[in-house]
Amino acid sequence: MTLSKLCKRLLASAAVALALAVATVHDARASVEKQNIVQLIASSQSIVAGTVSKVADGIDANGLPYTEVTIEVGISPKGKIGQGAYTFRQFGLLKPRTLPNGQRMLMVTPAEFPQWHENEYVVAFLYHPAVKTGLQTTAGLAQGKLVLVNNKLANQFDNAGLFDNVKVTAGALPAAEQKLFDSRGPVKAETLLSLIKHIVQGQLIEKGKIK
């Protein structure tokens, strides 16, 4: 392959990667508006709770940068993800890297996206994978990733707005779960996971008992 053809191929790959990147980020950022717990549950395809076992990054065959996250799933209150390792790719690199041609790839994970770290226990409200790229992140972006600390769960924003503007039909939830809607800051993991389970399995959103 001549140098001219190689350059053209690299430019074509870069153009495809840029187009895919713009589409991926645009689709994800469409859900960045402030979301409460009901909205996160409703907009997520799957909800998983488990320990992050591996975080790595790379560039796929189309030149699209990604961060690959593996979660050892313990429970999955919503969706078809079972126990065991679940791996997905989120847009963006962990840090800039130098490509084989000497150029710098600067497309790191956007600030609005969740950051992942090995050995942290998380509850992730996973949005459906992007149609064009297969990349996936959480519903509400950083809002949809909660981390366990001292047996309490909180997202990047210390759960700000997570329990706001929720209406619950009287008697639809146990008292301990109902009290979460008066909470501020981190909340007990057991109670929050129980709330999510009741909402999903009881189809409370679909039945209009919580909104």
Find, among 183, 39, 26, the residue nearest to 125 by Cα.
Answer: 39
What is the pTM assigned to this prediction? 0.85
Tokens matching residue 98: 């130098």
Cα R_g (the chain), whole angstroms: 19
Distances (CA, A) of 182 to 80, 123, 167, 174: 31, 21, 12, 14
| Sheet hosting strand 152-154, strand order edge to edge | 84-91, 65-78, 46-59, 121-126, 145-149, 152-154, 187-188
Q: pLDDT tens-digit profile of 103-113?
A: 888 899 999 99
Tokens matching residue 177: 């779960």
Residue 11 has pLDDT above 50, yes or no: no
pLDDT at 27: 52
pLDDT at 33: 83
pLDDT at 98: 83
Residue 29 has pLDDT above 80, yes or no: no
Where are the chain's structural domains?
Answer: 3-201
Q: pLDDT tens-digit profile of 31-88?
A: 568 899 999 999 999 999 999 999 999 999 989 999 999 999 999 999 999 999 999 9
